[in-house]
Amino acid sequence: MTAREARAAALKAARERDSQNKRRRVLEVLDSLQRTGTKITFARVAKEAGVSNWLAYSPGLREPIEAARRRQEELGIEATADAVPPQSRVSNASLKTDLALAQQQIKELREERNRLRERLRLQLGTELNHTNASELRDSMDELNRANAALTKDLQQAQADNKALRATIEGLEDDLSAARQSLRKMMRAT
């Protein structure tokens, strides 16, 4: 064997070792994602294994990744918005939490409004016995202003609630469209 042939054989052996190491890393990452319940995608497996997407789709690796994805679909593991950068990603759980908080705030504002109305009604009844007409008009004006402010707060909370619901619907539509697009891309490859 010549020196040139020896170098070629050594280079071929090194490439083979590198290829085996990359394939092993892909399978290890796939196993890790399955254990943690993280949504499995070809891009995620390739990225976390530090290999190209092409390698994740190659024969011998494609099949176990597809099998793991099918198992997750059967278990109902939801996809995350991989196309959205992490710093701008908003989860459905976060939006639902925001919506629940807004609804709770609306409920508290309504309860506060009702308590204040009752207090004012009682106070007004007491003051009627001890005040004259001009003082009564001043009190009524003040009460009307307070009522208007509370009504405005309630309307704002309701508008925020409506906006959050619209955001959730839009994000769910985007998520559905992204899933369909990904499925089409997967079938096309």
Task: Report, as an integer, the average pLDDT of 37-42.
Answer: 91
Task: Report, as an integer, the average pLDDT of 157-168.
Answer: 93
* Nearest one of 151, 174, 186, 160 to 88, comparing CA atoms: 174
What does the pLDDT read at residue 123?
87
Task: Report, as an integer, the average pLDDT of 102-128.
Answer: 89
Distances (CA, A) of 96 to 76, 85, 90, 133: 19, 20, 10, 51
Which residue has 């071929």 as its token pair?
12
pLDDT (tens digit, 9 = 90+) per residue, 131-153?
677 777 888 999 999 999 999 99
**Would you put residue 2 in left (φ > 0), alpha (ψ -120 to 50) or beta?**
beta
Q: Quote the DSSP letter at residue 86.
A: G
Tell whether pTM > 0.85: no
| Residues with Cβ within 8 Å of residue 91, at least 6 apart in sequence | 80
**Whole-number mean pLDDT of the chain?**
86
What does the pLDDT read at residue 124?
79
